[in-house]
Structure 1
Amino acid sequence: MQKVYLDNAATTQVRQEVIDRMQEALATCYGNPSSTHAFGRTAKTGIEQARKTIARYLNAHPSEIIFTSGGTEADNMILRSSVRDLGVKTIITTKIEHHAVLHTAEALSQEYGIRLDFVKLDASGNPDLDHLEQLLKRDGSRKLVSLMHINNEIGNKIDVVAIAALCRDNDALFHSDTVQSIGHFSWDVEEIPIDFMAAAAHKFHGPKGVGFAFIRKNTGLKPLIMGGSQERGYRAGTEAYHNIVGLEAAFIAAYENLEEETAYISDLKRYFLQRIQEIPGIAFNGYSGDMEKSTYTLVNMRLPFDEQKSLMLLFHLDLKGIACSKGSACQSGSEGGSHVLSEILDDEELKKPSLRVSFSKYNSREEIDYLVDVLKEFAAG
């Protein structure tokens, strides 16, 4: 049976050069980075080199890169410390953020009594910047704006430059969950006045269980995890050296090959958009069918199937060896369905099955042909 992996927004295949680098690290560099002997110093040097590498590509200072277990931890650290330590009294976000942000903001509202404001969305799920400005100017409270650059379910791409400028003009902090963005888009944190970002290695062909937070200097953020002085005091605990150098290897490969791989994956998406419309009644969720307004890495679409067919869709695709998502992987075990689609679709549209297909450098046109042919056969059956 043919095996086709088209769920790259959930996680990605690890690059071979990343595997090789991690195997070498596990075999040869096993000292504790906090130890002062040569074994420890070697590990510490590798971690600091990885920090410098990431900072160089983002045009950040190495001290602004803090390694974490992934995007969720980075989001939690940033939001919690902003409220607990930086005097934030209002968090402004949207109802279609990743739950790492949304649930954290809701918990902070309950725990600390802060105000939680939601920016209005247009019909396709992008934030209304006029409404955001109104919320920023509403009162004199200390505010944190948290808006993800690329939505993980519908692929919408927001105008982070305009939002960062609005936040700076209104003396608000700006955080963006860039988990679907880092490794796929260029960033310059000197040009974009963003205060905080979160990233995860497994979204750009690196290992799971490691990511980083960008924390702009002198913000006053405090640690979430207490203990030792690792990660400049921001994150206690012995560093996972093999994961960090794996992240570095994936990061270098992503940005050294960014132009070529962006062009290749964009071509795959265009080809998919062309071929999938051979099924009558296909509709795209959010801006995912628009190459300019969405990421080039995914498409989220509604299929014209009845309720009975909808229940069997993912099962049928799995039997055919095809991996993709209904909504997002984070939602796949939820009985409530996608909170993102619930915000932008009406009741009739929500009755139709939605499928997220996400691409990587390891996919091909032949795999897209196979998926479309399977879906056409399923529709006709």
Structure 2
Amino acid sequence: MEKIYLDYNASTPLAPEVVDAMQPLLSDFYGNPSALHWAGSPVKEVLQNAREQVANLIGSTAGEVIFTSGGSEANNLALKGYYFKNRHKGNHIITSKIEHPAIMNPCKFLEQVGAKVTYIGVDQFGRVIPEEIEKAIKKETLMISIMHSNNETGTLQPIKEIGKIAEKYGVAFHTDASQSAGKISIDVNELKVDLLTIAGHKLYAPKGIGALFIRNGIELEPLIHGAGHEFGIRAGTENTLLAVGLGKACEIVKHQETNQHIKELTHYFWRQLQAEFGEQVVLNGHPELRLPNTLNVSFVRKVGQDLLSAIPNLAASTGSACHAGSIELSPVLKEMGVSEEVGMGAIRFSLGRYTTKDEIDQILFYFKKII
């Protein structure tokens, strides 16, 4: 059986153009970008070019982009870096109850060292209500961190509205856009965010590389102390090879109009599931305000993992975990108020640039056979 990959939200394959862009770095461009001689200067140039490519994707300047080892480090740098540098201004952080562990766990850590964190709930579609954010703001509020889109359901958060609230109260605003970058357009100025996270392996770049947008004027305490790399914010000789890969990936998604095709394919998939299974299948997340590639559906009174196990050639994710015969819903579905009867059958299909209609039709055939 042909292997079918519908787990692009977990990780994407490397784009061929990204591989080509990285190839010269494996043999040439071996100098240290900080070195002032003939071997260092060309490396500094390609690193700067990569930084500009990332900046162009999100509407920032190159000087506001810091390369990191991925989305988790970028999130940690945003939260811990801002807290430790600015805690004289306050110790209160606002986030949501459906954030990725790369936000939740740094927040829990900061609570151990004096931070007070308010975790905001979501509606039945998994969206934060901006008014709830505003209600939670107090004199000690230092920053807000709300994900741009949810990795499980694809639901988009009202980032622009929250950005206006943060600006109104003079509170720093971070958004984890790991899942959104490359799938929908992002402009840091339009969103009014001060910090924004990008993860390379979610947009056809390698694993182990990410970026953090840091608006001019925002000061962070480094997590890694050493020499003055990355504008003095992240010490360590830059990984030019992976940075070039991320830069090229950002350039590709900026200029390729593949997302409309993916959106149409996702809608086709959902329509076919509805036509075949009717009330047996339920959409989790917002019906419209979601990532164009993400389809989180529940097969009612079925177990998602059992269904996926019956189709071993399909790579997709479930929204529940099985422990000794019992089903535990994901925290996201739980916060949305999804019942166990529905939630235990949740499967997240996430499509990508290389997904075909034939593959979707094959998966539909398999599901018709086993349900």
Same-fold call, TM cutoff 0.5: yes
Secondary structure, aligned partner of 1:39: coil
Find 1:94's aligned residue among 82, 96, 104.
Answer: 96
In 2, Cα distance between equivalents of 1:102 and 1:43: 36
In 2, Cα distance between equivalents of 1:326 and 1:350: 12
CA contact (8 A) 2:184 2:291 kept: no
Equivalent residue runs for 1:149-298 within 5 Å: 149-257=148-256, 260-277=257-274, 278-280=276-278, 281-287=280-286, 290=287, 292-298=288-294
Post-superposition Cα deviations, 1:37-73, rounded to whole Å, max 9, x if no partner, equal 2111111111111112222332212111000011100
Equivalent residue runs for 1:336-355 within 5 Å: 337-349=329-341, 352-355=344-347
Find 1:357's aligned residue among 344, 349, 362.
Answer: 349
CA contact (8 A) 2:121 2:335 kept: no
User: Which residue of 2 is the match for residue 326 of structure 1?
Assistant: 318
CA contact (8 A) 2:8 2:202 kept: yes
CA contact (8 A) 1:180 1:203 kept: yes
In 2, Cα distance between equivalents of 1:357 and 1:39: 46
User: Which residue of 2 is the match for residue 47 of structure 1?
Assistant: 47
In 2, Cα distance between equivalents of 1:80 and 1:217: 18
CA contact (8 A) 1:341 1:350 kept: no
CA contact (8 A) 1:342 1:350 kept: no
Equivalent residue runs for 1:48-87 within 5 Å: 48-87=48-87
Find 2:359's aligned residue among 358, 367, 371.
Answer: 367
Post-superposition Cα deviations, 1:116-149, rounded to whole Å, max 9, x if no partner, equal 112231122111222111112xx31132111011
Structure (1/2) with the larger strand percentage: 2
Counting aligned pairs with the same residue, the percent is: 34
In 2, Cα distance between equivalents of 1:116 and 1:315: 39
Please report the TM-score for the alignment, with normalisation by the length of structure 1. 0.91
CA contact (8 A) 1:325 1:332 kept: no
1:22 maps onto 2:14 in alignment = no
User: Which residue of 1 is the match for residue 306 of structure 2?
Assistant: 312
Equivalent residue runs for 1:119-138 within 5 Å: 119-136=120-137
In 2, Cα distance between equivalents of 1:294 and 1:177: 15
CA contact (8 A) 1:89 1:114 kept: yes
1:185 CA drift (Å): 1.8
1:189 CA drift (Å): 2.1
User: Which residue of 1 is the match for residue 296 of structure 2?
Assistant: 300
Alignment RMSD (CA, Å): 1.9
Q: Which deviates the most, 71-80 or 221-230?
A: 221-230
In 2, Cα distance between equivalents of 1:10 and 1:227: 32
Secondary structure, aligned partner of 2:296: strand
CA contact (8 A) 1:269 1:298 kept: yes
1:352 CA drift (Å): 2.7
Structure 2 segments unaligned to the other structure (5+ residues): none
1:341 CA drift (Å): 1.4
Please report the TM-score for the alignment, with normalisation by the length of structure 2. 0.93
Post-superposition Cα deviations, 1:150-190, rounded to whole Å, max 9, x if no partner, equal 10011111121111001100111110000011112222223
CA contact (8 A) 2:51 2:62 kept: yes
CA distance 1:283–1:350, shift in 2 (3 Å): closer
1:21 CA drift (Å): 1.2
